[in-house]
Amino acid sequence: MAIYVSNCSIELQPNRSISELMEHNVCNTSESKIIYEDTLVGKTATYGGFRQQVARLAWGLKVNAGLKKGDIVAITSPSCIDYLLTVHAVCGIKSYSAAPLKAVSRHRGNFGKPPVLFCIGQRSSDLSLIPEDISTIDSGEQCFGLKGQDARKVCAAIIMSSGTTGSPKAVMLSHHNLVSSSEQMRRHNPENWNGEQREIFLPLMFSRNATLARIVPTIAKALSESPLVQKYTYPLLQYFSCSTAPSTVSYQSLPLVHIFANHESNACERGIKPEKGISKSGHMPKSVCSFLCFNAIIQTLFHSIVTDTNLAYGCTEVSGAVAQSGVRDTKCPLVRAGSLIANVEMKLVDEEGRDIVKESSGEILIKGPNVMMGYKGNTEASAECKTADGEWYRTGDVGKFDKNGYLTIVDRIKGIIKFQVAPTELEEIISRHPTVSEVCVIGVWNEMQSTEVPRAFIVLKSPRLESTTTASQIDEFVKSQVAGYKALRGGICFVQMLPKSPTGKILRKELRKEDTADSLIRSNL
């Protein structure tokens, strides 16, 4: 059996809560140190002040709202300091984060009626099915504690999965999950997490930032507009302006954000006028951390403007990342997700659950202290995502390791087209064509051939390029680089944009719905 194990191992305490991690000040952070700054509203928080506010709110929740362990607090909010404050205050009881612009009522089947609902101003008017029991921050004195309980068995947060391949599920993360995740990443590659200023352009309800939001001792400068890709707004370009400030040493984002940066001229066509964009001559931070694997377009862009880049791979069910590359790791290609973080084990299996030979692709199975407790109110799904012995979490992702131990994400199992055609392979090739801005490939059923065949949905750099000639050029471009069965036998569709979730993931299931609309087909090759 080939089990891949991290080359870094640390001792973890099973009885420490996320509140205690903050209270113990593991990084010896000064009380006056500004740890969060929301540049959109001009609000800051110091380490000492933040801890006091957290304690006051936690006490108020216990005394005024009558919350007790096991209660659920619903939080719907844009990414801001108040969100971080609320999350920390309720971390001694169960809380869950709902994706921006998705009404909390959508998730009531998983949780029932929450005793308390936190929301930011204008959000309250959107929640017509929720009673008027919304609380505001009040005074208090102390945080919740575990009081001798096993942190592995105490739920700290419930985070909704993205639901890109099905209905969103309520992922239960324990205190041990969150504390472990933070320490695993910091110990595995400390250079990724050192530095005095970071720019963050990811929704704070995103699983990676659910961990980050709770790690107050880690210096973070939070500038985040939620949702990330619901629409392109000025704050996105304002973010790039902040990212190029000389004091910024690191910023964290998704590749999708940099696709937009690379096509800033398209933004201007939409009427967006940036104060300052990214250019080769401008200052760039020393490192970039991204949470999806890069395609050819972004790889080329980053090589030209960023000195050091590191990637991370993970999901909500494993509390964020399980693999990351280092900012000084010159041996790791930009298309790799890096090596396993501390205390993580991984193995790859075929469709029958059997081990595969080294350097071959297989479904990723994960074991570690950061793997979730399970899905809230869904015992069937909780069992299905584990192996028969209950030891390994099945990600549904397909990956492989190279000879140096670096992980590459190939695709989702559900995304693999018949005859083992990986959509990401075709997407990387198509993205190299000079006319292409974005692309997504799915499998569509072909009655004549009695099988699934690849179809590409493409966003061109300019609508003026949309023609059967362009489609034919792209088709020939692909045929020149792949075997015949991998060609775009399902045709090419030119679309204005690809449907995406608030966290930037392409919603392939939505494209499958659009696939039935013949008007979208521009070329059936």
How many C-beta atoms surround the C-beta of residue 404 within 10 A? 11
Q: What is the pLDDT of residue 119?
A: 59
Pick from 401, 436, 460: which residue ends a domain?
401
- Within a domain: 409: no
My answer on whether 420 and 370 are in the same domain is no
Tell me if 122 sits within 8 A of 98, measured CB to CB.
no
My answer on whether 85 and 230 are in the same domain is yes
- Within a domain: 63: yes
- Within a domain: 410: no
Q: What is the pLDDT of residue 165?
A: 54
Nearest to 157 by CA among 75, 278, 56: 75
- Within a domain: 352: yes
How many C-beta atoms surround the C-beta of residue 30 within 10 A? 12
Which residues are bridge partners to 311 per DSSP? 290
Tokens found for residue 260: 């937009």
My answer on whether 396 and 443 are in the same domain is no
Could you report the per-residue pLDDT of 30-60, keeping only the tens digit for each? 888 887 777 677 788 888 888 888 878 877 7
Give the CATH number, domain containing residue 362.
3.40.50.12780
All residue ranges of the chain with pLDDT < 50 are 92-105, 122-143, 197, 199-201, 206, 209, 214-237, 239-240, 243-249, 264-288, 291-293, 296-297, 516-525
Domain residues for 434?
Answer: 416-523
> Phi then psi for 122, rounded to 5 degrees?
-65, -15
Radius of gyration (Cα) for the chain, nearest Å? 23
Q: What is the pLDDT of residue 477?
A: 95
My answer on whether 469 and 388 are in the same domain is no
Give the CATH number, domain containing residue 513.
3.30.300.30
Maximum separation of any 2 CA atoms in the chain, in Å: 71
Pick from 368, 401, 434: which residue ends a domain?
401
My answer on whether 352 and 491 are in the same domain is no
Q: What is the pLDDT of residue 250?
A: 52
My answer on whether 127 and 224 are in the same domain is yes
- Within a domain: 113: yes
My answer on whether 341 and 288 are in the same domain is yes
My answer on whether 348 and 389 are in the same domain is yes
Q: What is the pLDDT of residue 298?
A: 53
Close Cβ partners of 325 (under 8 Å, ≥ 6 residues apart) = 189, 310, 311, 312, 332, 336, 337, 338, 339, 406
Tell me if 303 sits within 8 A of 294, measured CB to CB.
no
Tokens found for residue 65: 């709202």
- Within a domain: 406: no
My answer on whether 38 and 115 are in the same domain is yes
- Within a domain: 407: no
My answer on whether 147 and 124 are in the same domain is yes
Tokens found for residue 146: 């575990």
Pick from 401, 429, 456: which residue ends a domain?
401
Reply yes or no: is the peptide bond before residue 227 cis, omega within 30 of 0.
Answer: yes
Q: What is the pLDDT of residue 66?
A: 80
DSSP codes of every residue in 144-166: ---TT--GGGSEEEEEE---SSS
- Within a domain: 408: no
My answer on whether 371 and 469 are in the same domain is no
Number of domains forming the structure of the chain: 2
My answer on whether 359 and 447 are in the same domain is no
